[in-house]
């Protein structure tokens, strides 16, 4: 009984640190806030932080893992609900757009975590594992066969993840509206127009062209 109470208390403290960090990173990004700011937001001591996380990177990795777990769970529900034989691509794209519209803090977190990994000292480890697992699962939802955790994701899965992340990130950076047709419609912009059909122009004005 006492052990259960302690376990619940530890879980509440861990969740408070994660929630505080996620809220703080949504406001300031992952690069600027210090561990002291994270613990102050969670209302715990700095020493308490290190009882749960070995480093700042481990905290970020767990936040990313949690975010991907939520995103994939919702995406899998939509794919399963569509039934066998349904094209999973538009379902995956719409699910991602809805998720990030409702949880913009994760769009920023994932975007900056990718940049964080490009720094040599942050490459690899739990953070990279989280991205590998996410992209690999995207491929499986598209029909890729199951693979070992150590195997790289398929090229199709990498391209799909890149399209989703890239379009949504640039929409934020450039402060542009999303396409009325969503990411599904955006993909049609990459298909060459027929000789008699002018390619659609969405978003660029004469000032935006060179």
Say what percent of the chain tops pLDDT 70: 88
> Between these two residues, 108 and 4, which has the higher pLDDT value?
108
66 is a domain residue = yes
Are 167 and 142 found together in one domain? yes
Are 75 and 34 found together in one domain? no
Are 141 and 40 found together in one domain? no
Q: DSSP secondary-structure letter at 208?
A: G
Are 19 and 62 found together in one domain? no
Are 13 and 99 found together in one domain? no
pLDDT tens digit sequence for 147-192: 887 888 999 999 999 999 999 888 888 888 777 777 888 877 777 6
Are 62 and 140 found together in one domain? yes
Are 67 and 149 found together in one domain? yes
9 is a domain residue = yes
The pLDDT value recorded for residue 54 is 92
Neighbours of 11 (CB within 10 A): 10
203 is a domain residue = no
Q: Which helix (H) or strand (E) holds 139?
A: helix 125-141
Q: How many structural domains comprise the chain?
A: 2
Cβ contact 112:127 at 8 Å: no
- What's the distance, CA 164 to chain centroid? 9
Are 81 and 18 found together in one domain? no
Are 114 and 93 found together in one domain? yes
14 is a domain residue = yes
Give the residue numbers spanning the domain of 108.
56-189
Whether pLDDT at 29 is above 90: yes
Q: Which helix (H) or strand (E) holds 207?
A: none
Are 64 and 165 found together in one domain? yes
Which whole number is the average pLDDT over 5-10?
Answer: 85
- How far is residue 81's CA from residue 40's CA, in Å, rounded to a whole number? 42
pLDDT tens digit sequence for 89-127: 999 999 999 999 999 999 999 999 998 887 756 566 899
209 is a domain residue = no
207 is a domain residue = no
Are 140 and 60 found together in one domain? yes
Going by pLDDT thresholds of 50, 70 and 90, the confidence category of residue 196 is low
The pTM score is 0.84
How high does pLDDT run on average in the chain?
A: 86
Whether pLDDT at 85 is above 80: yes
> Between these two residues, 207 and 28, which has the higher pLDDT value?
28
195 is a domain residue = no
CATH code, domain with 3: 1.10.10.60
The pLDDT value recorded for residue 209 is 37
The pLDDT value recorded for residue 185 is 81
């Amino acid at each position: 009984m006492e052990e259960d109470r302690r376990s619940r208390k530890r879980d509440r403290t861990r969740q408070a640190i994660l929630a505080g960090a996620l809220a703080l990173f949504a406001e300031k990004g992952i690069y600027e806030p210090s561990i002291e700011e994270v613990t102050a937001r969670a209302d715990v001591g700095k020493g308490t932080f290190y009882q749960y996380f070995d480093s700042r990177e481990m905290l970020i990795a767990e936040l990313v893992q949690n975010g991907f777990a939520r995103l994939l769970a919702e995406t899998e529900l939509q794919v399963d609900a569509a039934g066998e034989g349904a094209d999973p691509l538009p379902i995956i794209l719409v699910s991602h757009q809805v998720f990030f519209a409702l949880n913009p803090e994760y769009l920023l977190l994932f975007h900056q975590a990718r940049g964080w990994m490009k720094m040599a000292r942050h490459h690899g480890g739990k953070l990279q594992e989280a991205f590998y697992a996410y992209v690999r699962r995207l491929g499986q939802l598209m029909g890729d066969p199951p693979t070992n955790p150590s195997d790289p994701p398929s090229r199709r899965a990498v391209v799909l993840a890149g399209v989703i992340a890239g379009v949504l990130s640039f929409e934020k950076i450039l402060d542009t509206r999303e396409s009325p047709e969503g990411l599904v419609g955006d993909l049609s912009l990459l298909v060459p127009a027929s000789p008699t059909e002018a390619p659609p122009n969405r978003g660029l004005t004469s000032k935006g062209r060179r």
